[in-house]
Structure 1
Amino acid sequence: MNLDPFQIFTKWYAEELDKSTNSLPAACCISTIGLDGYPNARFVSLKELKNDTFIITGPLQSRKGLEIEKSSKIAITFWWETTQRQIRIQGNATKINEEEAISYFDPRTKKSKIISMISEQGNTIENIDVLKQKFSEAESIYKNNDVVKPENWGGYAIQPIRIEFMEFKTNRFHQRTLFQLNNKIWKTTILQP
């Protein structure tokens, strides 16, 4: 196996994209340490692998954002059905800068931008129709104008310290390789299935 985990990730991701017809290869489960001390997980979309970090975006005041601000320790899990592969990543998240956040926000659809502007993700609401009304009003206002990135929208770059690649085998001898960062060098270990 290649000794660069980022090259392996890129290769596996490309293979899943090539072979998959209806899955979402960019979907990954992000796990954080909850504000109440319990683990908290949700699915998000990986934006890209950049400078050996995994980039995710979203509202900074969401529960996810608040949890990352409290503890930068984070885990990412990918499951790719078509190629029968799992990737588990543990690392530390740092906020991306404003310029980078704008570069991820600008290509989004207008509807996605409006939702990001009007919704306080994860907060309670008495009636969803109130939010739908706010959306309709904003859609009219921004019909011929672009939506500017809200201040509370941004992203995180996750710098891994551990990456485990697991390839499922029909004989149950799944191939598991763990990469651990040690003094800026990736050390590999083979794990039992």
Structure 2
Amino acid sequence: MNPITLFEQWFSEEKSQNNRKLSNACCLSTVGLDGYPNARFVSLKEIVEDSFVVTGSLSSRKGREIENHKKAALTFWWTSSERQVRIQGDVTKISQALAKTYFEQRNRDSKIVAATFTQGEEIQSISQLKEQFEAQKTELENREIKLPENWSGISIQPIRIEFMEFKNSRLHERILYQHVENRWKSTLLQP
């Protein structure tokens, strides 16, 4: 089976078992600017041309890390189905048109936050942050919020995808797919 098809099947099964939108949540890991791994949770937008798309501020730490080292990993943990998927791959920036489409799908408050703040920068206080947000919300009340220059997304073209299904017996079923010579090669792994 093609691992992208298997991922989509597992993803669909998790969404049907779990009525919350957390099925899209995944851990994005990058190589830090200091050489240490860095991880944070993001939301998978969709799979486009067999690549996994996530969005956000490219001037953030994750954006700078990806610009410096165009490789990343995604890890999904699905509680309802007790499955894990690990993806490693090469990163490219998505098109401006696709970024605009994703930005327009965000709720208004998310757009205001993206347009107002520089993700990951230091602040003086939470109350100052809230005041600035409310001021921007009032100022932008009847105006369209345009895509910020630093907001886009990345596409992760997988080179490895590992699926693990947890079992009560502890004999977890693991299969690793590796993209080698333009085809997927699968290997069974011990638990």
TM-score bracket, shorter-length normalisation? over 0.9
1:23, CA displacement in angstroms? 6.2
Name the structure 2 match of 1:48: 46
Q: After the TM superposition, which segments of 4 or more aligned residues of structure 1 sit over 4 Å from their partners?
A: none
Select the residue among 63, 66, 70 that pairs with 1:65. 63
* Aligned residue number for residue 14 of structure 1: 12
Which residue pairs with 2:129 in the alignment?
131
Does the CA-based 8 Å contact 1:54-1:157 persist in structure 2?
Answer: yes
Q: Is the 8 A contact 1:110 1:146 kept in 2?
A: no
- Work out whether residues 166 and 177 of structure 1, in 8 Å CA contact, stay in contact via their aligned partners in 2: yes
Q: Deviations over 1:44-70 (max 9, x none)?
A: 000011110000000010000000000
Amino acid at match of 2:187: T
Structure 1: distance between partners of 2:136 and 2:18 = 36
The correspondence of residues 114-193 of structure 1 with structure 2, limited to 5 A, is 114-193=112-191
| C-alpha displacement of 1:131 | 2.5
**Aligned residue type for 1:72:** K
Partner residue of 2:23 out of 19, 22, 25: 25
The answer for the alignment partner of 2:93 in structure 1 is 95
CA shift, 1:136, in A, is 1.6
8 Å contact from structure 1 (residues 118, 131) kept in 2: no
What one-letter code is carried by the residue in structure 2 that aligns with 1:81? T
Select which of 109, 112, 123 maps to 1:111. Answer: 109
- How many residue pairs are counted as aligned between the two chains? 191
In the TM superposition, residue 142 of structure 1 has moved relative to its aligned partner by 1.7
TM-score, normalization: structure 1? Answer: 0.96
CA distance in 1, matches of 2:5, 2:88: 17
- The CA deviation at 1:172 is 1.1
Q: Which runs of 5+ in 2 are unaligned?
A: none
Given that 1:162 and 1:178 are in contact with CA atoms closer than 8 Å, whether structure 2 keeps it comes out as yes
Give 1:21 shift.
3.2
Distance 2:155 2:71 in 1: 12
2:110 counterpart SS class = helix
Cα root mean square deviation, aligned: 1.0
- Quote the offset at 1:139 in angstroms: 1.0
TM norm structure 2:
0.97
Q: Secondary structure at the match of 2:23?
A: coil
Cα distance in 2 for residues equivalent to 1:49 and 1:39: 24
Give the residue type in structure 1 aligned to 2:167: K
Residue identity in the other structure for 2:107:
T
Q: Distance in 1 between matches of 2:127 and 2:172?
A: 49
Separation of aligned partners in 2, 1:60 and 1:139: 23
Identity percentage over the alignment?
50
Within 1, Cα distance between the matches of 2:72 and 2:87?
8
Q: Is the 8 A contact 1:166 1:176 kept in 2?
A: yes
